[in-house]
Structure 1
Amino acid sequence: MANTQRKLNLNVGINTTGYLGNAWKYRTGNRHEITDPDYYRRLTELAHKGLFDAVFFSDHPALMTDPNGRPFHTIDPLILCTALAAQVPDIGFVATMSSTYNSPYNLARRTQSTDIISGGRLIINIVSSFNPNVAANFGSEPLPPRNQRYAKASEFLDVAKKLWASWDPSREGDVPDDRFWDATSAHTIDHQGSYFTVKGPLNVPRGPQGHPVIAQAGASEGGIDLAARHGEIIYCNILSRPAGQAFGKKVRDRAISFGRDPLGIRIVPGLVVILGETREEALRKHELFSGAGSEDGLIARFVKENGIDPDGFDADAVLDAERFIPDPNRLQAVGMGLGLVDLLTHEKLTAREAVRRSEGHHRLLLGTPEEVADGIIDLWADGTVDGYTLQPPRAPDDIEEFVDKVVPILQDRGVYRTRYEEKTVRERYGLPFPEAGADIGRSAAISWLR
């Protein structure tokens, strides 16, 4: 029996050396670990000790060869998650996959297989690739326009949902002794759309979650449409309560307009935590791990990243939100850039204050374990967020520190689990089980409109 009391959901990112590009210099371990499966097993075991809902792998199918940077996406996340699921029990896995450079049938087959093998512990984070370097790895065609990528992603998931439900052994009737199965438990989907023509059925049966939980990241208009139509776990950039409430309302209102029950959506934004014995120690660690070196360095980076003329810039003057609105047609992801705009729209902040509120485009919590626990609970308690995806500056160091110092506080305050109970991540997030039948979107819409 699932525990119906609301609990804080926490995922943790375990890509390579940690989330912040300059923090690798201060971590435990060596640079060769990032392609060692045993390293990711150790990180997953550490996350399991902290009772996280899932470990999160972002992905980018292109190797960035900047000599001053580091590889951040290496082993294919779905393959890695499948291997880890066989070694570490209970915990879920978030595998990022591109809808732009995949086929629905192949993705549906591979992910349904992993979900069955793991016992219902798979979450797939669907992204529409935005980097021309990725496009160059999949042929000579240029990267499609943003609106086309999101339209394709939505149809992609329509097809995947139909495929995931196309062979359902629970539909079998009485099978005569001289037959192995009831073939009517599977049916074609006969999808013909703008981007895909797929007959089906899938040759993998319906999984323990109905289908893998669908995560989606993006706050542009196209991203919000995709989240509202299909997303169950929304990975996003929320830096304050007013901004988070406005974002959540926008996604859920959009879901209703599409005929979808908004109760099937969980808001789980990114979170960067830097702990110290005192807040001052945490501030100094922030300056170190960010690569800025000092508060003045953080401000200089802010000025450079936002194209501000440094001459005469006053770091203690209130910032104008409109100055930071990203170009909606830019190649880079738009959604993450909107986080700062949303923050400045709802709060009057200076650059000196703003650089301590966000790191790596995510909410930054600095301070003692008690202060960090307070900050986590603050936006969760009133439902602004349902949880967080922790993005540790360093792996494994900052995961271990969070597990040892923050998790016990969250447990003592009664907001976080003390053991794994639910078998699947769908149950753990309190998400509805997908309805049976090929036309899931239509049946869900009818159910909601009644």
Structure 2
Amino acid sequence: MTSAKRQLHLNVGINTTGYLANAWRYRTGDRHDINNPEYYRRLTELAHRGLFDAVFFSDHPALMTDPNGRPFHTIDPLILCTALAAQVPDIGFVATMSSTYNSPYNLARRTQSADIISGGRLIINIVSSFNPNVAANFGAAPLPPRSERYAKASEFLDVAKRLWSSWDPAREGEIPDDRFWDAASAQAIDHSGDYFTVKGPLNVPVGPQGHPVIAQAGASEGGIDLAARHGEIIYCNILSRPAGQAFGKKVKDRAVAFGRDPSGIRIVPGLVVILGKSRDEALRKHELFSGTGSEDGLIARFVKDNGIDPDGFDPDAVLDAERFIPDANRIQAVGMGLGLSDLLAHEKLTARQAVRRSEGHHRLVLGTPEEVADAIIDLWADGTVDGYTLQPPRAPDDIEEFVANVVPILQDRGVYRTAYEQETIRDRYGLPYPLNDGGDAWAV
């Protein structure tokens, strides 16, 4: 028996106007798109044309009211993904959901239902909410400390896994003619833990994937633990090969320590692509879409964002990695802030160089379609990453450009599919199916 040829995985983020906050000024469409389900259908169909594994919806259950910005999250992603799955075939859906402000039963029921409706095309991205504005939308209690949020998230997923497998019609024995079903096929989970008490069973049966694929984002110590215990698709910020290899090893070593087979983990970091007919054109588009206007503007933003005194700052001096390690106790997400310090720990870069390596905390790739394809294949070919989650600066424009100009190159080089084949996301990613024993063991 021969194993299937390894293929590059690509998801694409399709939140509102695109990934970069200032790029909306240069996109096709109008401001009303972001609340129009038809707009998201068109983006999903475009992603389907590009044969992406899945469309990715991040989420933040709070409206950011900066009048100089734009809403980045609007329609509930699970509801939107369920509607889109009924309209667009094949492609998968990543719906971001908070473990901090949710109940395991409610999430397990809604996501299992959506996975059944979509035919096994759902991925849920479980996040630990970090914004006090989100906490304020769910009551008067303050945001829990980071350690508590991650401990709660881990128990949350333990419970959800057990619920997802709690009613399995495959357990049915011989059923007499006068009975509709074998009630013994559904088993209570009787969970009582530090954060949740849930009797069960779930009133939705096991889905086509066993349970939805679990994605996880975060590179703090708590995030690494959660990824190692539960994550199957890991969304992260990897800016270089050494940093990516170190991150992947850390997650997989931690998984082994928890008694889990690391072969069921896929590393699929974010990627911001800016295309041009030449590299110089791509550089100018970067300056435009970022809202900084020039390379000097990019450097000025770098100085401001990192709290550097601009007086006497030399943009051509090598940066000290330790200077950019984020405070482990800060309110904001720690994992995404680690990308720059991890990059600088492995490469000697100046600020002038660093501002062209990352945008919105993710790896930035600039240049012609051929240069972009080379860069994508580079970290995938040796297994540093399993693929990427494309974060287009503008939607739909940069998705259209990528599908038209980069996808054909990836296909010609034999690293990317030319048609959808596997029906479920688990099969497409080559992920194991959970055994029906409460969700803690994994099929191989």
Per the normalisation by structure 1, the TM-score is: 0.98
Amino acid at match of 2:295: E
Query: Any idea what SS the aligned residue of 2:326 has?
Result: coil
Extract unaligned runs of 5+ from structure 2. none
What does residue 205 of structure 2 align with?
205
Instruction: Return the alpha-carbon distance in structure 1 between the equivalents of residues 247 and 9 of structure 2.
Output: 18
- Say whether residues 1:313 and 2:316 are aligned partners: no
Map of 1:49 onto structure 2: 49
The C-alpha deviation readout for 1:44-79, integer Å capped at 9, x for no partner, is 000000000000000000001110111010000000
Residue 77 of structure 1 contacts residue 95 of structure 1 at CA under 8 Å; is this kept in 2?
A: yes
Amino acid paired to 1:191:
H
Q: Residue in 1 aligned with 2:397?
A: 397
Aligned match of 1:384 = 384
Give how far 1:5 is off: 1.0
Matched, 1:101 2:101: yes
Task: Give the fraction of aligned pairs with identical amino acids, expressed as a percent.
Answer: 85
Contact kept, 8 Å, 1:235 with 1:389, in 2: the verdict is yes
Counterpart Cα distance in 1 of 2:325 and 2:51: 38
Confirm or deny: 8 A CA contact 1:267 1:387 kept in the other structure.
yes
* SS of the residue 1:415 aligns to: coil
Q: Distance in 2 between matches of 1:7 and 1:180?
A: 45
Name the residue aligned to 1:176: 176
SS in 2 for 1:378: helix
Letter of the structure 2 residue corresponding to residue 403 of structure 1: V
1:234, CA displacement in angstroms? 0.2
Give the letter aligned to residue 167 of structure 1: W
Q: Which secondary structure state, in structure 1, belongs to the residue aligned with residue 137 of structure 2?
A: helix
CA distance in 2, matches of 1:226, 1:41: 32
Aligned to 1:296: 296
- 2:381 maps to amino acid: A
3-state SS in 2 of match to 1:389 = strand
Match of 1:421, SS state, is coil
Once residues 189 and 300 of structure 2 are traced to their aligned partners in structure 1, the CA distance between those partners, rounded to angstroms, is: 55
| CA apart distance, 1:171 | 1.1
Provide Cα deviations, 1:171-230, integer angstroms capped at 9, x if missing partner.
Answer: 111111111111111100000100000000000000000000000000000000000000
Q: 1:268 touches 1:389 (CA, 8 Å); kept in 2?
A: yes
- Cα distance change, pair 315–53 in 1 and its aligned pair in 2 (3 A): same
> Which residue does 2:5 correspond to in 1?
5
Large movers: runs of 4+ above 2 Å: none
1:37 Cα offset (Å): 0.2
Q: Which AA in structure 2 matches 1:45?
A: E
Distance 1:365 1:325 in 2: 23
Match of 2:31 in 1: 31
User: 1:58: which partner in 2?
Assistant: 58
Question: Match of 1:145?
Answer: 145
Q: Is 1:119–2:124 an aligned residue pair?
A: no
Cα distance in 1, alignment partners of residues 65 and 197 from structure 2: 37
Mapped partners of 2:368, 2:175: distance in 1: 62
Alpha-carbon separation, structure 2, partners of 1:407 and 1:59: 27
Q: 3-state SS of the aligned residue for 1:138? A: coil
Give, in whole Å, the separation in 2 of the partners of 1:359 and 1:154.
Answer: 30
Query: Is contact 1:216-1:232 (8 Å) kept?
Result: yes
Measure, in 2, the Cα distance between the counterparts of 1:368 and 1:341: 28
State whether structure 2 residue 204 is matched by structure 1 residue 194: no
- Counterpart position of 1:263: 263
Cα distance in 2 between the residues matched to 1:355 and 1:52: 28
Q: What secondary structure does 1:157 align onto?
A: helix
Tell me the amino acid that sits aligned with residue 265 of structure 2: I
Per the TM alignment, residue 124 of structure 1 is displaced from its structure 2 partner at its CA by 0.1
Match of 1:422 in 2: 422
Deviation at 1:40, TM superposition (A): 0.1
Letter in 2 for 1:20: L
Separation of aligned partners in 1, 2:250 and 2:435: 25
Partner of 2:253: 253
TM-score using structure 2 length: 0.99
Counterparts of 1:74 and 1:2, CA distance in 2: 45
1:83 alignment partner in structure 2: 83
Equivalent-residue separation in structure 1 for 2:184 and 2:58 (angstroms): 38
Shift of 1:3: 7.8
User: 1:424-439 maps to which residues of 2 (within 5 A)?
Assistant: 424-438=424-438
Task: Quote the Cα distance in structure 2 between the aligned partners of 1:174 and 1:348.
Answer: 68
Deviation at 1:2, TM superposition (A): 11
Offset from partner CA, 1:329-355 (integer Å, 9 cap, x none): 000000000000000000000000000
Matched, 1:17 2:17: yes
After superposition, the Cα gap between the structure-2 partners of 1:223 and 1:2, relative to the gap in structure 1 and judged at 3 Å, is: farther
How much is the aligned-residue C-alpha RMSD, in angstroms? 1.1
